[in-house]
Amino acid sequence: MLKAPLGSPKCSLCSNHTFHVIPWLQRELDAYRDRVNNTAKRADRNKVLPHSVPNHMYEAPEDFGVLDFKIKVDPAAIAYVRNLHAPPDHEVFELVPKDFAKLVTEFYAQIGNPLITRTNVWDIYMVLLARFEHLDNLHRIPAQLDEQWGYSLTMARDDYEDDLALIPNLTPLHNGSEVVGPDGYYYMGGVNNGLGLSEWWLNI
């Protein structure tokens, strides 16, 4: 797996790229969000809405002469729903497979846990990649790990599709999931038992 050329889909999960780039990118996005939400926008006389720091207006809209339409939700309720439907320990939230994470974390510590910036992100990737290649040359990556990492790579692809079981008491689409109906339209609703509006309705 680690013999794939740089830039290939397989090499992208030798994926220390995922391991170190995504956290860095998230930090950049967080910093941008904080800067925008805590900075007053340039005055615009054509703007009807109030001018100020967004976070200030959010926290105290009455101070700016506007109504507060926020719908407050109990954080405990959000935590309950999250843990029920998207538990943090679910594998979908793992950046990389656990065995891979253990190795790449060790390699990252060996090079001093450098702070990642846009000027060194590629250099760090190349150093980590070289360590994986060296490990693979000395001791071949076990087949079961290679298979596991390959599965995670497949799951991460943009064009990945998984066949989901039909929800109980429902029926498949009348024309299938990728079939255009006899009238030339691609209808996926449930009107008229999946046939869509009748010809009579279409001619009104």
pLDDT in tens, 107-162: 899 999 999 888 998 899 888 888 877 776 655 555 555 555 555 555 545 454 55
pLDDT value of residue 47: 79
The number of residues in the chain equals 204
What is the pLDDT confidence band of residue 57, given thresholds at 50, 70 and 90?
very high
Comparing 122 with 34, which gets the higher pLDDT? 34
Judge whether residue 28 has pLDDT over 80. Answer: yes
Q: How many helices and strands, by DSSP H and E, does the chain display?
A: 8, 0
The Cα–Cα gap between 84 and 99 comes to: 26
9: Cβ–Cβ under 8 A, 6 or more apart, which residues? 153, 157
* Structure-block tokens of residue 123: 């250099």
Question: What is the rounded average pLDDT for all residues in the chain?
Answer: 74
Judge whether residue 200 has pLDDT over 70. Answer: no
* Structure-block tokens of residue 107: 């390699």
Comparing 60 with 173, which gets the higher pLDDT? 60
Q: What share of the chain is helix, strand, coil (3-state, %, to 5)?
A: 50, 0, 50
Look at the pTM and tell me if it is higher than 0.85. Answer: no
Q: Is the dihedral of CA 40, 43, 47, 48 positive or negative?
A: positive
Please report, as a single letter, which amino acid is at residue 123. D
What is the pLDDT confidence band of residue 165, given thresholds at 50, 70 and 90?
low
pLDDT value of residue 104: 85
Residues 163-192: what's their mean pLDDT?
Answer: 61
Comparing 189 with 159, which gets the higher pLDDT? 189
Where would I find the H helices in 38-113? 54-59, 75-85, 98-110
The Cα–Cα gap between 1 and 5 comes to: 10
pLDDT value of residue 45: 82
* Structure-block tokens of residue 201: 């309705």
pLDDT value of residue 41: 85
The CA distances from residue 89 to 27, 35, 85, 136, in Å, are: 21, 31, 11, 29
Distance of CA 24 to the CA centre of its chain: 14
Instruction: Return the SS3 of 47.
Output: coil
The Cα–Cα gap between 38 and 61 comes to: 15
The Cα–Cα gap between 90 and 97 comes to: 12
